[in-house]
Amino acid sequence: MKKTRFSVLLALLLGILTITLWWSCQTPTDIVEIQPPVAPTGLIATAASQTQINLSWTASTGATSYAVYRRFVTGEYSRIAHSVTKTNYSDTTLSCSDPLALDTFYEYYVIAYNAGGSSSASNTAHAMTNQCTLTAPAATTALTATAVSQTQINLSWNAVSGATGHYIYRNSVYIGSTPTTSYSDAGLVLNTTYSYYVISYNAGGNSPASNTASATTFPNPPAAPTGLTATGVLKTEIDLSWTASTGATSYTLSRIGYGVIYTGSLTSYSNTGLIVNTSYSYTVTASNAGGTSGVSNTATATTLPDAPAAPTLSATAASQTQINLSWNAVSGATSYTISRIGYGFIYTGSATSFSDTGLTVNTSYSYTMYASNAGGNSVWSNTASATTDAATPGTPVISAMNTGSQTSNSISWTNSSPFTETSFDVERSLDGTSGWVLAFNRGVGFIAAPDTPLNPGTTYYYRMRARLDTGGRTYFSGYSSVVSATTLR
């Protein structure tokens, strides 16, 4: 038994020794080292739908799997698949393409793997998903119409998903469009009912019509009462009256500085309980269902009045035939009288401004005035003078030509109103519509002048106008037509 065990142990030791001697005799070339695969080639990317791009490539010898990398054109690469054992891959759940956006344009590369490692990146391939199919928006809801004046109704509605704009219809007739969710319809007829609906739209088409909304414009409020007068009849009473306003149902009389003292349908009122020798001023407004009028003229009276003080007058030329006069309201005055010196009285009334019309061009006029009330007239005011505007020069006729020069053009013109201007402004532009600059100014003795220095081979556009400088003011004619000339190269 002991001999048998020894024999087995000896045989085992001899076997181990034999294997060890064999292995030590082997050369390094007998050991196989696995190399990484080469980079995949022939990568192709093809859009399959709005949300899918298909990839395919040529197999890499020795590769056991592949990884796919993707980026937006303007972004960074990221791995989207690994352990891919085929030579194709479908990238799904992408965004449908917007031709104006880069983020639907995708780029790819592939890396091969085996037990020896990874390859370098394949060629890149890119594709854009198919364009989105737009659908028309749904109909807007909750359209409302609200009258805000005698001539305007405001519309508003809920925003509609996907809509880029909205068509507005009044009484079934198209009147405009807007990208917002509100619209103001102006220029309407007072006290009139209008009906509206809205159609939303985008590149995919139009929605159905919205609900219909209607509103009625306001009636006009009455005109401001006119002819308000105030008369001191006692030491403690001033009587007031005014002209009725058409359509008015009531009037509100205010004593300035005190507030409302009367509301009712009458056109006269006696204000009692006042202080002796005190001035009071009043205004009145008219009302109806459409609203309240503007404020009337101011009427002023004084219990036991003294004659008012003189107003301060100013005069300003408004045109060739009009001078505007204005003055301060004088406490206690109920009317004002204006005299154009050398011509006589031209105005008496309660307003504090007046336009003197029908005057002569470029002529000086002087004015004075006085204020009045029941106590008498004031002394004359200061003298105010103004000169009507001068006649506007006529528009010249311009022509331009190149005279064989690389650096100048010749500009000539015809004066359409001789002796009414002092000079001419010639302006230059590179496109004939914008960027106008003054090329030169010439006096009335000129009918032509060069424009220099200019650039060779360039087309320049010209226009001009006549200019009158007089009395510290400048008047211009209208612009001539636009002409052009091109310098030589």
Model confidence at 79, in pLDDT bands (50, 70, 90)?
very high
Q: Which two tokens stand for residue 384?
A: 């105010």
65 and 116 both lie in a single domain? yes
Report yes or no on whether pTM surpasses 0.75.
no
382 and 401 both lie in a single domain? no
Final residue before a domain boundary, out of 347, 366, 387 = 387
Q: Which residues pair with 397 in a beta bridge?
A: 414
Q: Is the pLDDT of residue 149 over 80?
A: yes
* Residue numbers of the domain that contains 381: 313-387
Residue of 223, 353, 247, 331 whose CA lies nearest to 282: 331
Beta carbons of 169 and 199 less than 8 angstroms apart: yes
- What would the pLDDT profile of 371-381 be if each residue is shown by its tens digit? 998 778 999 99
Place of tokens 């007068």: 229
332 and 260 both lie in a single domain? no
Final residue before a domain boundary, out of 387, 405, 427 = 387
CA distances from 78 to 82, 118, 130, 477 (A): 11, 16, 22, 69
Give the model's pLDDT for residue 14.
Answer: 63
Lowest-confidence range among 72-76, 244-248, 409-413?
Answer: 72-76
Give the model's pLDDT for residue 27.
Answer: 46
328 and 350 both lie in a single domain? yes
Relative to beta strand 165-170, strand 193-202 is antiparallel
Q: Is the pLDDT of residue 207 over 70?
A: yes
Positive/negative CA dihedral, 292, 294, 297, 300: positive
Give the rounded distance of the alpha carbon of 35 from its chain centre: 68
Give the model's pLDDT for residue 100.
Answer: 47
Give the model's pLDDT for residue 1.
Answer: 47
Give the model's pLDDT for residue 121.
Answer: 94
Beta carbons of 91 and 50 less than 8 angstroms apart: no
Place of tokens 């001009």: 464
234 and 285 both lie in a single domain? yes
- What would the pLDDT profile of 321-347 be if each residue is shown by its tens digit? 999 999 999 998 989 999 999 999 999
Q: Which two tokens stand for residue 482?
A: 């636009």
Give the model's pLDDT for residue 18.
Answer: 54
89 and 155 both lie in a single domain? no
Helix, strand, or coil (residue 443):
strand
Query: Helix-strand-coil percent breakdown of the chain, rounded to 5?
Result: 5, 45, 45
Give the model's pLDDT for residue 218.
Answer: 87
Give the model's pLDDT for residue 419.
Answer: 65
Give the model's pLDDT for residue 19.
Answer: 53
Note whether residue 85 is domain-resident: yes
Q: How far apart are CA 238 and CA 229, in angstroms?
A: 10
Report CA dihedral (393, 394, 400, 403) to the nearest 10 degrees: -60
Model confidence at 103, in pLDDT bands (50, 70, 90)?
low
Q: How far apart are CA 354 and CA 338, in angstroms?
A: 9
Q: How far apart are CA 378 and CA 361, in angstroms?
A: 32
Helix, strand, or coil (residue 11):
helix
Mean pLDDT for the chain?
89
Q: Is the pLDDT of residue 73 over 90?
A: no
Average pLDDT of the residues in 181-186: 96
Q: Is the pLDDT of residue 288 over 50?
A: yes
Residue of 263, 302, 301 whose CA lies nearest to 284: 263
Note whether residue 443 is domain-resident: yes
- What would the pLDDT profile of 156-169 be if each residue is shown by its tens digit? 999 998 898 999 99
405 and 471 both lie in a single domain? yes
- What would the pLDDT profile of 4-47 be if each residue is shown by its tens digit? 555 545 656 665 555 555 445 454 445 568 899 999 999 999 98
98 and 50 both lie in a single domain? yes
Note whether residue 4 is domain-resident: no
Note whether residue 33 is domain-resident: no
E-strand ranges in 23-152 read: 41-47, 53-58, 65-72, 78-84, 88-91, 105-114, 117-118, 125-128, 144-147
Beta-carbon contacts of 345 under 8 Å, excluding residues fewer than 6 positions away, are 337, 338, 339
Q: How many domains does the chain have?
A: 5
Place of tokens 């659908």: 135
Q: What percent of the chain has pLDDT over 70?
A: 90
Place of tokens 């009458």: 266
457 and 404 both lie in a single domain? yes
Note whether residue 308 is domain-resident: no
Q: Which two tokens stand for residue 63?
A: 């590769």
Note whether residue 13 is domain-resident: no
Give the model's pLDDT for residue 22.
Answer: 44
Final residue before a domain boundary, out of 155, 183, 216 = 216
Average pLDDT of the residues in 221-246: 94
Tallying the residues shown for the chain, one arrives at: 489
205 and 231 both lie in a single domain? no
325 and 377 both lie in a single domain? yes
Backbone angles phi and psi of 168, in degrees to 5: -110, 130
- What would the pLDDT profile of 123-132 be if each residue is shown by its tens digit? 999 888 777 6
Top-confidence residue, 94 or 76: 76
Q: How far apart are CA 283 and CA 444, in angstroms?
A: 56
- CATH number, domain containing residue 257: 2.60.40.10
408 and 466 both lie in a single domain? yes
Give the model's pLDDT for residue 23.
Answer: 41
DSSP tag of 321:
S
- What would the pLDDT profile of 381-416 be if each residue is shown by its tens digit? 999 999 998 878 889 999 888 878 999 999 999 988
Note whether residue 25 is domain-resident: no
- What would the pLDDT profile of 439-471 be if each residue is shown by its tens digit? 999 998 888 999 999 999 999 999 999 998 887
Give the model's pLDDT for residue 389.
Answer: 86
Residue of 282, 232, 274 whose CA lies nearest to 256: 282
Helix, strand, or coil (residue 275):
coil
- Best-predicted range by mean pLDDT among 20-24, 137-141, 217-221, 426-430? 426-430
CA distances from 131 to 49, 98, 105, 251, 333 (A): 8, 6, 11, 68, 79
Note whether residue 439 is domain-resident: yes
Q: Which amino acid is located at 79 in the chain?
A: R
